[in-house]
Amino acid sequence: MFEADVVVVGAGPVGLTTSIALSQHGVSHIVVERHPSTSIAPKARGINARTMEMYRQMGVEGDIRAAGMPARFGGMILWAESLAGKEINRLTPGRATPAGQAVSPVANCGCSQDVLEPVLRRHAEALAPGGINFNTELCDLRHEGGGVTGVLKDHVSGETNPFRARYLVAADGTRSFVREKLGIGRSGEKDIYDSVNVHFRADLRPWVEDRPAALYLIEQPELRATFLTVNGSDRWGFLVHSLSAYDFTKENLTPERCIELVRRAVGVADLPVEVLGINFWNCSAMVADSFRSGNVFLVGDAAHETTPSGGFGMNLGVQDAQNLAWKIAAVLHGAADPSLLDSYEAERRPHALEVVQATLLNMQSFDRTKRQAEARLPRKEFLNERGLIFGARYQSLAVVPDGSKPPEVSDPVTEYVPSAHPGCRAPHVWLENKGQRISTIDLLGRGFVLLAAAGGAFWRSAASQHGLPRIDVRVLGEDIVDSEGAWMAAYGVGEGGAVLVRPDGYVAWRVASAPADPARALTEAFGQIFARAALKQAV
């Protein structure tokens, strides 16, 4: 029997991101994946700006952008009778407007799963050599002695190996073996429609070069389908919903039939087309009734399944990983009480419920599961979900209230008001560091960061007390320069005030001005965040 601090099940984007995050927080672990390698299908193409902020902090952003589709394809959605035929409508997503981009130093990115996963795999393997194991399947699991035990099967050798781990993170998808084994139910709408994704090669540049879009929605009386941009030139996805509406089946959707459909949707009868793959799937909108059972945690599609409308599924999952990894690290390193881990479900499940519901409403608003005479445009919230992307507000023991009211918005789906209210994402503000323009986002992501207003040099000694974790203290006017004079207002503090930001970029604690005893104030804050009353008595 071998032992590990953490076993991660699944090496898709969520599992590989979990691995990167655990490594960067100093947690030893292994990842197991039953498939022989990374995905070969171009699924889950949209990475939103909040997720790209996270990958920027992890040091992965540049490689993802280099592998992804050209950025110019992310600024539009287009409806047409065919690619070569009459154009019906264009839509500029709110995320792509100047107002949408002003809240972050990072833009969204189109990068299909089949090229994203190899990038994440390289980074994960570099940080945890020998820790990423493909052709390895979890085939048994149980709680035992304050940890988790189970059996792994090597598909190459056929051997089975027992293991023991302190924690297990299940990133094993919508049909999660772990979730089923633990008997965790799901709520929501299951099997709303069935779909096919055709991955194909064809040169579509003559019809897309002068109107780059992320999606080309085709509206014909006998075919409603979508071209999904993969590289913007010769590699594409072709999506059809509700196969029964067209009498399509797995048996009659042969490669030859798929080529015929692609040609019809392009509007060119003799277009050279090569089918690279055909994938059938069912759409559901489901959330697990619990994200945790003992020392086992569900992340990604194992925890929540969204419709594809709005592109939230993968983003929601990798942000689960960011939320969970630092908490596991804090417990394993002895800084936090294990009850800190209760905050994972308390923070992520309410947000997942909101996102899953929003994607369901998106899908219903321009329902492409039926034949209909005219194109039906989506609701105004579609691709304008700035509030869902940036505005999640956590309420848990890992957030210390400061007595203030959170920002009010009339529509939490579309509206985002930057705020350093405890539980909110630390806002983006431009600063200067050694003459270089940086964002507050660039200071975050690896550990706890204390951002102190001018006159807050005393926070250095307060943060260096015995019993506290390592805290990166940045004082305005000393370590960083607020040349635009925006930081104090954006973060809601005055002279001597400070904001403590968690490793996942969310505000844990805020004090508007210098407290009478900064060391005690900071120690008491960590006492709550780490659920350790002893910390409160350290000063």
pLDDT tens digits, one per residue of 163-207: 999 999 999 999 999 999 999 999 999 999 999 999 999 999 999
Clarify whether residues 382 and 451 are in a common domain.
no
Distance in angstroms between the alpha carbons of the first and the last residue of the chain: 44
159 within some domain:
yes
Q: How confident is the model at residue 532 (pLDDT cuts 50, 70, 90)?
A: confident
pLDDT of residue 374: 65
pLDDT of residue 97: 78
Clarify whether residues 358 and 507 are in a common domain.
no
248 within some domain:
no
Clarify whether residues 341 and 477 are in a common domain.
no
pLDDT of residue 222: 87
Query: From CA 487, how far away is CA 276, in angstroms rounded?
Result: 50
Specify whether the CB–CB gap between 124 and 38 falls below 8 A: no
pLDDT of residue 536: 47
3-state SS of 454-500 is CCCCCHHHHHCCCCCCCEEEEEECCCEECCCCCHHHHHCCCCCCEEE
Q: How confident is the model at residue 528 (pLDDT cuts 50, 70, 90)?
A: very high
Name the phi and psi angles at 511, rounded to 5: -130, 125
Q: Nearest 5°: CA angle at 239, between 234 and 244?
A: 150
The residue type of 373 is A
10 within some domain:
yes
Clarify whether residues 444 and 499 are in a common domain.
yes
Dig out the tokens for 404 from the structure: 């203030």
Query: Does residue 110 carry a pLDDT above 60?
Result: yes
pLDDT of residue 430: 97
Looking up residue 498, the CATH number of its domain turns out to be 3.40.30.120
The 10s digit of each residue's pLDDT in 354-389 is 999 999 999 888 776 666 656 677 888 988 999 999
Dig out the tokens for 337 from the structure: 């009480």
Average pLDDT over residues 469-489: 95
Clarify whether residues 290 and 354 are in a common domain.
yes
Q: How confident is the model at residue 152 (pLDDT cuts 50, 70, 90)?
A: very high
Average pLDDT over residues 89-108: 86
pTM of the model: 0.96
Average pLDDT over residues 305-325: 96
Query: Does residue 100 carry a pLDDT above 90?
Result: no
For residue 330, the enclosing domain spans 2-65+110-187+284-388
Looking up residue 182, the CATH number of its domain turns out to be 3.50.50.60
Clarify whether residues 306 and 363 are in a common domain.
yes
**Lowest pLDDT segment from 124-138, 295-309, 405-419, 524-538:** 524-538
